[in-house]
Structures are given as C-alpha cells and as structure tokens.
Amino acid sequence: MGEFVRVETADGIATIRLDRPKMNALNAQVQEEIAEAAAQVDADAGVYAAIVYGGERVFAAGADIKEMADMSYADMAARSGRLQACFTAVAEIGKPVIAAITGYALGGGLELALCADFRVAGESAKVGQPEIQLGLIPGAGGTQRLPRLIGPARAKDLVFTGRHVAAEEALAIGLVDRVVPDAEVYDAAREFAAKFAGGPALAVRAAKQAIDHGLEADLATGLEIERLQFASLFATEDAREGMRAFSERAKPKFTGR
C-alpha cells in the first residue's frame, strides 16, 4: 500500500483509491504508486473489476505543476516515458476498469480516467485538458486516447482551448458513459463493476485485449488478433463449463481457469 494510493478489495471489486490532499495532484510518487496498484489489481485472481476513485470531492486535478515548473527539456525527456508507462499500467489491467469521477478530472486526471474502460461522472464534475494554458500539451496520453474515444475534431477542441467540460456535455460527446448525482458516483461505479463479479475472467481479459489491440491495427490484423484470442479460450476450463451449462440449461460456475 502506497502513501497516497491504496487498493481496497471487497466482493471481487478492487478500488484504486487516490488520496493525496487536497486535489490528488499527480506527482511522480503518486504516478509510481498508481502503477504499483494497477499491477496488484491485475495479478489478483480474486478481482473481477476495478474502480479508480479520488474520493467524494475530486478525482484528480492534474499533474503537480510545482514539481514540473523547474524541469528542463532533458529532465522531462527522461521522465515522460515513465509518466506514460504508469498510466498505461491502468489501461492494461486485464479486467474491466471504471473511473468514478467526482469534482475535477483535469490534465493528468482526465488522462488517468481515459485509461479506464468506462467513466461514471457526478453531475457537477468538470473534465478537460488545460495544459495548453501552460504553454504545454497533454503528456500522459491525452493527445492519443482522447481522439480515439471522442474523435479528432472534438479532441482538438478540448486540447487546443484547454476548456473545462461539464458532465452533461461530456456525456453527450461520449467522454463519459454515465452521469449520476454527485453523492452516488462511487455506488454507481460499484453497481457497474458488480456485473462482472463471478464472470468468465479469462474471456473478459481476452475480449479487452482483442478490442484494445485491434483498435491500434488495420482490420485484417485486428481480425487475426480476435481469432487467436477466440481459439485460445478453447483451452480453458471456463469455456468448457460455459458450453456445458448452456447445453444443460444451467447456470455456469466460472473459476478463472
């Protein structure tokens, strides 16, 4: 368990909890602790889904600007690869990941939320990539994951202007998947995550990898990725159990093997 990031697990759901007062600024230590938490969640066979949560008031207001202010080009050239890798560790968790967004998810905060498979936001949440207002651009995946999610024109609007986007607009453009009252954000994320508890974890992992990796390739390559993942599942006990249960009109009991 890290100083600012901890993993709490209950009922097959892991919560990666950010807790760096006051705004969950994502300094280098927090980034490393996020990567460690992601590795822990990915490796835990008892976890079927994960939630990334910053608490009732804020998801994450962005990078620690004070930490970066005195960095040179050489400093950031050496550091930026690790920054991206820490967030990518969340994207590569082989289980469904839900970002539960309260308050602000700005800059690195939004980039972290973009690493999740789904995003649930509170009604008063604000998201955005304001780096341009500092004379910078997003450096933890914002220029890549954002256009893949909402399209290049909308992504350019957010990145070029640095404006904050309210929850309802974020829902309308596909940046978040659900908007709920602020007090219900975490519960809504848990309700979503609970759908995966006890499910065929190997198949879910294969589906996530096929979709994510296929999006980075041409159609023919994507289809080959799908074919290999599909065929590999015939080596699992879960697939045999699922097909047996279907034939017998019974409820399958998946074991993750």
The percent of residues above 90 in pLDDT, for the chain, comes to 93
In a domain, 255, yes or no: no
Active site residue 63: yes
State yes or no: is 36 an active-site residue: no
Say whether 35 is catalytic.
Answer: no
Q: Omega of the bond prior to 66 within 30 degrees of 0, cis?
A: no
Classify residue 253: in a domain, yes or no. no
Residues 88 and 211 in one domain: no
Q: How many domains does the chain have?
A: 2
User: Do 40 and 103 reside in the same domain of the chain?
Assistant: yes
Q: What is the pLDDT of residues 124-162, one digit of tens each?
A: 999 999 999 999 999 999 999 999 999 999 999 999 999
If you average pLDDT over every residue of the chain, what do you get? 96
Mark whether 229 and 141 lie in a shared domain. Answer: no
Q: How far is CA 41 from the centre of its chain?
A: 12
Catalytic residue among 108, 109, 122, 162: 108
Same domain, 72 and 139: yes
91 included as an active-site residue: no
Do residue 105 and residue 89 come from a single domain?
Answer: yes
Given 111, 167, 170, 206, which residue is catalytic? 111
Same domain, 40 and 100: yes
Q: What is the CATH number of the domain that holds 229?
A: 1.10.12.10
Options 100, 107, 131, 201, the catalytic residue: 131
Same domain, 164 and 238: no
Same domain for 9 and 81: yes
> Do 51 and 123 sit in the same domain of this protein?
yes
- Residue ranges of the alpha helices (H) in 44-182? 65-68, 73-91, 108-114, 142-150, 152-161, 167-172
CATH number at residue 113: 3.90.226.10
- Domain hosting residue 19, numbered range: 5-194
Measured distance CA(149)–CA(3) in Å, rounded: 32
In a domain, 113, yes or no: yes
Residues 172-225 have pLDDT tens digits of 999 999 999 999 999 999 999 999 999 999 999 999 999 999 999 999 999 999
